[in-house]
Chains A and B, each alone.
Chain A
Amino acid sequence: MADEYEFEIKRKDESGKVYYSTYKVPKDKISTVLEGLLYIKENLDQSLSFRYSCRMEICGSCGMEIDGKPRMACSTIVEDLKKDHIKIEPLKHYKVIRDLVVDIDPFFDKYREVKPYIIRDDDGKYDKELPQTPEQFHEYANFAMCIKCGLCMAACPIEGSDPNYLGPAPLAAAWRYIADNRDQGAKYRVEVVDGEEGTSRCHFAGECTEVCPKGVDPSFAIQKLRRTALKIEIASIFGGR
Chain B
Amino acid sequence: MVRQKNIFVSGIILRCVYLEKIKEDVIILGGGMAGLRAAVAAAEYNKNLSVGVVSKLYPLRSHSVSAEGGTSAVLNPKDSFDLHAYDTIKGSDYLADQDAVEEFVRLVPEQIYTTDHWGCPWSRNPDGTISQRDFGALSFPRATFAADKTGFHVMQTLFSRALKYDNIRFYNEYFATSMFIENGRFNSLTTINLRTGDFTVFQGKAIVFAAGGAGRLYQFSTYAHSVSGDGDAIAYRAGIPLKDMEFIQFHPTGLVPSGILITEGARADGGYLLNGEKKRFMQAYAPNKLEKASRDVVSRAIMWEIEAGRGAKGEYGDMEYVYLDLRHMADVLDERLPMITEIAKKFNGIDAHTELIPVHPATHYTMGGIDSNVKTTTDYSGIFAAGENACVSIHGANRLGSNSTNECLALGNVAGVSAAKYAMEHDIPDLVVSNVDAEEKRIWDDLLKRNGGENVAKIREDLRNNMDKNVGIFRDANGLNTALKNIKSYKERYEKISIQDKSSTFNMELEWALEVGFMLDLAEIITVGAIMRTESRGAHYRKDYPNRDDENFLKHTIATYTKDGPKITYKPVVITKWQPTVRTY
A20 within 8 Å of B by Cβ? no
Q: How far is the CA of A41 from the CA of B164 in the complex (A)?
A: 38
Asked whether, in the complex, the Cβ of B66 is within 8 Å of the Cβ of A58, the reply is yes
Asked whether, in the complex, the Cβ of B225 is within 8 Å of the Cβ of A55, the reply is yes
B119 within 8 Å of A by Cβ? yes
Asked whether, in the complex, the Cβ of A117 is within 8 Å of the Cβ of B63, the reply is no
Of the candidates A13, A120, A127, A132, the one whose C-beta lies within 8 Å of that of B128 is: A132
Counting chain A CB atoms within 10 Å of each CB, which of B62, B128, B195 scores highest? B128
Asked whether, in the complex, the Cβ of B225 is within 8 Å of the Cβ of A132, the reply is no
Of the candidates B61, B127, B161, the one whose C-beta lies within 8 Å of that of A133 is: B127
Q: Please give, as numbers and ranges, the residues of chain B lying within 8 Å of A241 by CB-CB distance.
A: none
A112 within 8 Å of B by Cβ? yes
B-contact 0/1 string along A125-155, CB 8 Å cutoff: 1111111111011001100111110000000
Q: A47-B503, A54-B65, A123-B117 are in contact. Are A144 and B508 (CB under 8 A)?
A: no
Q: A56-B343, A58-B66, A60-B61 are in contact. Are A134 and B126 (CB under 8 A)?
A: yes
Identity of the chain B residue whose Cβ is nearest the Cβ of A56 in the assembled complex: B260
Q: How far is the CA of A97 from the CA of B347 in the complex (A)?
A: 30
Distance in Å: Cβ of A211 to nearest Cβ of chain B: 15
A42 within 8 Å of B by Cβ? yes
Distance in Å: Cβ of A164 to nearest Cβ of chain B: 20
Q: A60-B60, A130-B117, A132-B128 are in contact. Are A54 and B508 (CB under 8 A)?
A: no
Q: Please give, as numbers and ranges, the residues of chain A lying within 8 Å of B260 by CB-CB distance.
A: 55-56
Q: Please give, as numbers and ranges, the residues of chain B lying within 8 Å of A141 by CB-CB distance.
A: 121
Q: A117-B161, A126-B110, A137-B124 are in contact. Are A98 and B503 (CB under 8 A)?
A: yes
Asked whether, in the complex, the Cβ of A75 is within 8 Å of the Cβ of B506, the reply is no
B500 within 8 Å of A by Cβ? yes
Of the candidates B117, B457, B503, the one whose C-beta lies within 8 Å of that of A118 is: B117
Q: How far is the CA of A99 from the CA of B153 in the complex (A)?
A: 31
A101 within 8 Å of B by Cβ? yes
Distance in Å: Cβ of B179 to nearest Cβ of chain A: 23
A116 within 8 Å of B by Cβ? yes
Of the candidates A46, A59, A147, the one whose C-beta lies within 8 Å of that of B224 is: A59
Asked whether, in the complex, the Cβ of B509 is within 8 Å of the Cβ of A46, the reply is yes
A183 within 8 Å of B by Cβ? yes
In the complex, besides A53-B62, A55-B258, A129-B112, 16 extra interface pairs with C-beta distance below 8 angstroms are A14-B505, A46-B499, A46-B501, A47-B509, A53-B57, A53-B61, A56-B343, A57-B346, A59-B224, A75-B346, A112-B163, A116-B163, A117-B119, A117-B160, A130-B117, A182-B119
Asked whether, in the complex, the Cβ of B126 is within 8 Å of the Cβ of A117, the reply is no
Q: A47-B500, A47-B503, A55-B258 are in contact. Are A129 and B63 (CB under 8 A)?
A: no
Q: Please give, as numbers and ranges, the residues of chain A lying within 8 Å of B62 by CB-CB distance.
A: 53, 59
Distance in Å: Cβ of A40 to nearest Cβ of chain B: 11
Q: How large is the interface on B (under 10, 10 to 19, 20 to 34, 35 or more residues)?
A: 35 or more
Main secondary structure of the interface of A (DSSP, over half): loop
Give chain B's interface residues, CB within 8 Å of chain A.
57-58, 60-63, 65-66, 110, 112-114, 116-119, 121-124, 126-130, 149, 152-153, 156, 160-161, 163-164, 172, 195, 224-226, 258, 260-261, 339, 343, 346-347, 455, 457-458, 461, 499-501, 503-509
Q: A42-B461, A56-B261, A58-B65 are in contact. Are A120 and B501 (CB under 8 A)?
A: no
| Contacts of A5-24 to chain B: CB distance below 8 A | 13-14
Q: Please give, as numbers and ranges, the residues of chain B lying within 8 Å of A31 by CB-CB distance.
A: 258, 347
Counting chain B CB atoms within 10 Å of each CB, which of A112, A118, A183 scores highest? A118
Give chain A's interface residues, CB within 8 Å of chain B.
13-14, 31-32, 41-43, 46-61, 75, 77, 97-99, 101, 104-105, 108, 111-112, 115-118, 120, 123, 125-134, 136-137, 140-141, 144-148, 173, 177, 180, 182-183
Asked whether, in the complex, the Cβ of B258 is within 8 Å of the Cβ of A129, the reply is no
Q: How far is the CA of A126 from the CA of B124 in the complex (A)?
A: 17
Identity of the chain A residue whose Cβ is nearest the Cβ of B128 in the assembled complex: A131
Q: How far is the CA of A112 from the CA of B499 in the complex (A)?
A: 38
Asked whether, in the complex, the Cβ of B501 is within 8 Å of the Cβ of A47, the reply is yes
Q: Please give, as numbers and ranges, the residues of chain A lying within 8 Å of B61 by CB-CB distance.
A: 51, 53-54, 59-61
Distance in Å: Cβ of B378 to nearest Cβ of chain A: 27
Distance in Å: Cβ of A86 to nearest Cβ of chain B: 18
Q: Please give, as numbers and ranges, the residues of chain A lying within 8 Å of B506 by CB-CB distance.
A: 49, 97-99, 101
Distance in Å: Cβ of B285 to nearest Cβ of chain A: 28
Q: How far is the CA of A77 from the CA of B123 in the complex (A)?
A: 31
Identity of the chain A residue whose Cβ is nearest the Cβ of B505 in the assembled complex: A98
Distance in Å: Cβ of B413 to nearest Cβ of chain A: 11
Asked whether, in the complex, the Cβ of B505 is within 8 Å of the Cβ of A52, the reply is no
Distance in Å: Cβ of B33 to nearest Cβ of chain A: 13
Of the candidates A46, A61, A128, A134, the one whose C-beta lies within 8 Å of that of B124 is: A134
Q: How far is the CA of A32 from the CA of B347 in the complex (A)?
A: 8
Asked whether, in the complex, the Cβ of B113 is within 8 Å of the Cβ of A53, the reply is no
Q: A46-B501, A58-B152 are in contact. Are A118 and B118 (CB under 8 A)?
A: yes
Asked whether, in the complex, the Cβ of A133 is within 8 Å of the Cβ of B124, the reply is yes
Q: Please give, as numbers and ranges, the residues of chain B lying within 8 Å of A120 by CB-CB distance.
A: 117
Identity of the chain A residue whose Cβ is nearest the Cβ of B113 in the assembled complex: A126
Identity of the chain B residue whose Cβ is nearest the Cβ of A54 in the assembled complex: B224
Q: A56-B343, A117-B163 are in contact. Are A42 and B126 (CB under 8 A)?
A: no
Q: How far is the CA of A215 from the CA of B284 in the complex (A)?
A: 42
Q: Please give, as numbers and ranges, the residues of chain A lying within 8 Å of B499 by CB-CB distance.
A: 46
Q: How far is the CA of A183 from the CA of B88 in the complex (A)?
A: 35
Q: Please give, as numbers and ranges, the residues of chain B lying within 8 Å of A130 by CB-CB distance.
A: 116-117
Counting chain A CB atoms within 10 Å of each CB, which of B61, B130, B258, B457 scores highest? B61
Q: How far is the CA of A53 from the CA of B124 in the complex (A)?
A: 31
Q: How far is the CA of A48 from the CA of B512 in the complex (A)?
A: 13
Q: How far is the CA of A52 from the CA of B226 in the complex (A)?
A: 8
Q: How far is the CA of A123 from the CA of B119 in the complex (A)?
A: 12
Distance in Å: Cβ of A147 to nearest Cβ of chain B: 7
Distance in Å: Cβ of B511 to nearest Cβ of chain A: 10
Q: Please give, as numbers and ranges, the residues of chain A lying within 8 Å of B126 by CB-CB distance.
A: 133-134
Q: Please give, as numbers and ranges, the residues of chain B lying within 8 Å of A134 by CB-CB distance.
A: 123-124, 126
Asked whether, in the complex, the Cβ of B225 is within 8 Å of the Cβ of A14, the reply is no
Q: Please give, as numbers and ranges, the residues of chain A lying within 8 Å of B195 by CB-CB distance.
A: 97
Q: Please give, as numbers and ranges, the residues of chain B lying within 8 Å of A116 by CB-CB distance.
A: 160, 163
